[in-house]
Amino acid sequence: MSEANQETQNRQVLEKASSWLGGSYDEETKKQVRDLMQSNPKELEESFYRNLEFGTGGLRGIMGVGTNRMNKYTVGMATQGLANYLKQSFAGLPQVKVAIAHDCRNNSDAFAKIVADIFAANGFHVYLFDALRPTPELSFAIRLLGCQSGVMVTASHNPKEYNGYKAYWCDGAQVTAPHDTNIIDEVNKITDPSQVKFTGGSGSIEIIGKDVDSAYLSGIEGLLKLSPEAVERHKDLKIVYTPLHGCGVKMVPEMLARMGFTNIIHVPEQDVNDGSFPTVYSPNPEEPAALKMAIDKAAATGAALVLATDPDADRIALAVRDKKGDFFILNGNQTNSIFIYYLLRRWKELGKLQGKEYVIKTIVTTNLIADIAEAFGVEWYTCYTGFKYIAEIVRRYEGKKTCIGGGEESFGFNVGELVRDKDAVVSCGLAAEVTAWAKEQGMSVFDLLLDVYKQFGYYKERQISVTKKGKDGLEAIQQMMRDFRANPPKRLAGSDVKEIYDYQTLELKNVKEGVTKAIDQTSTSNVLQYVTDDGTIVSVRPSGTEPKIKFYFGVRESLHDVADFDSVTQALDKKIDAIAAELKL
């Protein structure tokens, strides 16, 4: 950035910060702003250089004072904008109804109360959970209670300094087009806290809890129990579960008990709800280090299965014993593939497949799922990254076809149509059931994975995330995407790139033939995907929730003998390493 531009930005930051020293802001907020102005110019810039964006999934950011931070004012202004749009969209109803839940994060309960008060002040009837609850239960509650919208206060698996919230529509899914951009427009019209109805109004707040819990868990039971005899025979299966300090502790153990499992082993230190996440560096089940305490507990107790959920209990991680008896952490693609294989196999064996069933995957999720679906004669659909797009397909075919399940590589999966978001609660139940069923067949879950690879090919995936924090990082990520569009790779690991999918322009370019075709998607997404002659797939996309640009690698090789698993793994890893080096990652 030039000196002149930097001076202009510094002046704008100072003006925005100074505006927080008067008006509707409380004294504590003003004091914190003054402290930043006097002693921390870099943090002042990061806090005020832009407005915290209300994106298509809602809000997410670092907590603190400032226009680019999560605080009661940015939360309040976003909520007022959402409330204004709901009043427009449901003007014909006598009263708009919304549901609100929150996770374990610092300030989540306070933010949830602020959101509830603002909705009530706008005349809405508000259903507010009595304590922390999983994100999927909020999705379920919206449909159960006939709400028009909902808010989940959470920053999912982000580090402890983050918070945010996800906005939901009346179908229990996160908002999609056209509502997402329309809500953003309304939020952007709220430019000052004086426009927010923090109190008053004619609405009401109703506290909910156990009744919704019971209905939610009963619904999950109806989606599982495809192998009740196997579960009964192996009900004492040792399962270690950790909520990583999050709200999964509220539902997962009870759900496993309802299914009939009697030997659930806890990690007591991680059962404690704590938004500082004291026992992990990051509460992200995608990070192997987050599972260390649970795996140590499993090794000490002789458990067969480790389950972990993230702070808002929508993502799941599994660790199972390999051929040597050591714990092997499944990645999201492996978990999804095993789940889909089990569901389709059991549906077929039980005579439940009637020709109108389907499964869903995202564009960066393994193609192994598509191969499994085709082998069982089941339709499969692909969509953008994000469960709201999976939910969009469910909504499109509701009452016409039946969704068996769907997932994405980032450790998210859901069964059926009960919930319209990824659901780690039902996924934990499914993982336990699969483990019991595999044991009934004389296999472990790891054996099952190898058997799937032998049948359909060994699909190996890896994701590399490059973190670029702050204002400079955002600009760097945008420049990287421009560079990849302007100068796409011609070869990857010795194989020519034959196709380039640009989901931002919705164009598919056949490089060798020089032909461009339209991609069949109803909206755009900032994703690039390169496909080579040998079937290798590399996808590039900026994260929508974190300061990262993500690279997804997918390679494949036949696995003729499960004894060759280690050697084929090494060969595929070397191939991915070579591609990453070529892309200078």
Query: What is the set of active-site residues?
Result: 156
* Residues paired with 159 in a beta bridge: none
The helix/strand/coil state of 495 is strand
Q: What's the 3-state SS for 205-228?
A: EEEECHHHHHHHHHHHHHHCCCCH
Residues 388 and 414: their CA atoms lie apart, in Å, by 12
* Tokens describing residue 352: 């439940």
Enter the DSSP assignment of 171.
Answer: T
Residues 312 and 157: their CA atoms lie apart, in Å, by 8
Burial per residue of 304-323, b for 16 or more beta-carbon CB atoms within 10 angstroms, e otherwise: bbbbbbbbbbbbbbbbbbbe
Closest Cα to residue 268, out of 304, 294, 288? Answer: 294
Contact 256, 429 (CB under 8 A): yes
Name the H helices within 40-177: 41-48, 72-89, 108-121, 135-144
* Tokens describing residue 317: 């991680």
- According to DSSP, the β-strands at 97-102 and 162-169 are unpaired
Closest Cα to residue 314, out of 111, 168, 521? Answer: 168
Kindly report the length of the chain.
585
Residues 574 and 556: their CA atoms lie apart, in Å, by 12
